Amino acid sequence: MNLSARLLRSSFVTRIGKIVWLSICLLAISTSVFSQAAQQQTPAQPAKPVAQPESAKPKQPESFSAEEFSKLSREFSEEGGTFRSDNFTSNETSYLHVVQKLREAGTTGGAYLGVGPEQNYTYIAKTRPQIVFLFDIRRQAIIQHLMYKAVFHTSENPAQFLAKLLSRPLPAKDAPKEVKDKAPAANASINELLNYFSAAAMDEKAYQANLAEIRKMIQEEFKFPLSDNDKYALEYVYKSFRDEGLAISYRTDGGGGWGGYFPTLREILAGEDLFGKQGNFLAVKEDYEFVRGLHRKNLIIPVVADFAGKKGISSVAEYLKKNGYTVTAFYLSNVEQYLFQNGVFGDFAENVRKLPLTDKSLFIRAIAGRGPHPARQSGHRLTTLLQKMTVFLKDYDEKLYSSYYELSVTNYIAP
């Protein structure tokens, strides 16, 4: 190839290279401009959350085995403490006054927490929780709940429940007709049951057989070991129900209190709400069956716990969070009165802070004290109120609770 040809070819290649280079630059510029325009016209979309696989979600048990039930109760419990009374029964005649408010608030499902004896069963029946933890500082109260559990397990209906609890058996199948005719019918009302068992005689043979059965159930069926002290407490409580029947009541050490008067179990069971309707867990068939069902599924777990302690409530809070529960209702009775007296109310508030809450989580309180509460109902010594648990924590952080009285009159929900 001659020199002229080579120069011509070189010039052509150079021109082609420049054209290609210029095209690439123009393409890059147009792509950048288009991209910027698209960003201006189309707002950025937030990233969609990745759905949590079902296998990763906490699985809430439909029931516990006896071993699981016993393990939770024993591992969450603290060392037992003391209190100045035998809480065989509730002394709160106003306990049904907040039931309508609970309904209006949609208080249902989740976890129910409570303290004290049988009034919890009514609140459980009304709120229909998935799981229950019952606290008490006294181990004897926990043994009493195990006694109740055994009575529920062996009693298909309220009549059988009262017969077993009070050691006043229903007539046997082979009893004379005139005896059987006096027995309450299967659909007997609560008042008919109370009339019958108030007149029924205690049966020592039935008491001994029932006590042996209950003790055996607790240890063998519920897998809950009983120490000698536990066995003594069980016999003491069960014997008290045998001796006093429906006349049994709350009592303080040394007797007295409230001018020597506390409502009897009969009065508590016959209680009415503010609309004159009876609503105890033994008064409504479906309520009794619900509570009994939870017991038979081992989902009502008693725990020895000080409200201001380091272990009981904290352990339950950790368990509830781990398993995806939130607290629906926490029945406190008037325990906060004693927390203030003992200077440990702040420790309790911090325990509440650990619980998984929603804006629907409610405290149920029975307000006591020297003076009447502004919301107290005539004829009742105590006043049962509600309060949102999130509001409680907000008020506590703002230092609104200088005393038990200030707590009782601040941001409460009246019946």
Number of domains composing the chain: 1
Which residue type does 333 have? S
pLDDT reported for residue 34: 34
Query: What's the pLDDT band for 7 if we cut at 50, 70, 90?
Result: very low
- Is 414 part of any domain? no
Rounded distance between C-alpha atoms, residue 412 and residue 387, angstroms = 5
pLDDT reported for residue 146: 98
- Is 66 part of any domain? yes
Query: What's the pLDDT band for 175 if we cut at 50, 70, 90?
Result: confident
DSSP element (H, E) containing 394: helix 389-397
Query: What rounded mean pLDDT belongs to the chain?
Result: 87
**Stretch 94-123: mean pLDDT:** 96
Closest CA to 125 of 268, 296, 284: 284
Q: 175: how many CB neighbours lie within 10 A of its CB?
A: 14
pLDDT tens for each residue of 281-335: 999 999 999 999 999 999 999 999 999 999 999 999 999 999 999 999 999 999 9
Task: Please identify which residue in the block is written with the tokens 């998935």.
Answer: 130
> Is 55 a residue whose pLDDT tops 60?
no
Are residues 393 and 387 in contact, defined by beta-carbon separation less than 8 angstroms? Answer: no
Domain that holds residue 143: 61-408
pLDDT reported for residue 256: 44
Asked which of 39-43, 75-79, 301-305, 377-381 is least confident by mean pLDDT, the reply is: 39-43
pLDDT reported for residue 250: 84
- Is 24 part of any domain? no
pLDDT reported for residue 84: 64
> Is 239 a residue whose pLDDT tops 60?
yes
Query: What's the pLDDT band for 110 if we cut at 50, 70, 90?
Result: very high
Tokens describing residue 204: 């020592």
> Is 196 a residue whose pLDDT tops 80?
yes
- Is 1 part of any domain? no
Which residues, 6+ apart, have CB-to-CB distance to 60 below 8 Å?
130, 131, 323, 324, 325
DSSP assigned state of 92? -
pLDDT reported for residue 252: 67
- Is 206 part of any domain? yes
- Is 7 part of any domain? no
Percent of the chain whose pLDDT exceeds 90: 74
Which residue type does 199 have? A
- Is 403 part of any domain? yes
- Is 19 part of any domain? no
Q: Helix %, strand %, coil % for the chain, to 5?
A: 50, 10, 40
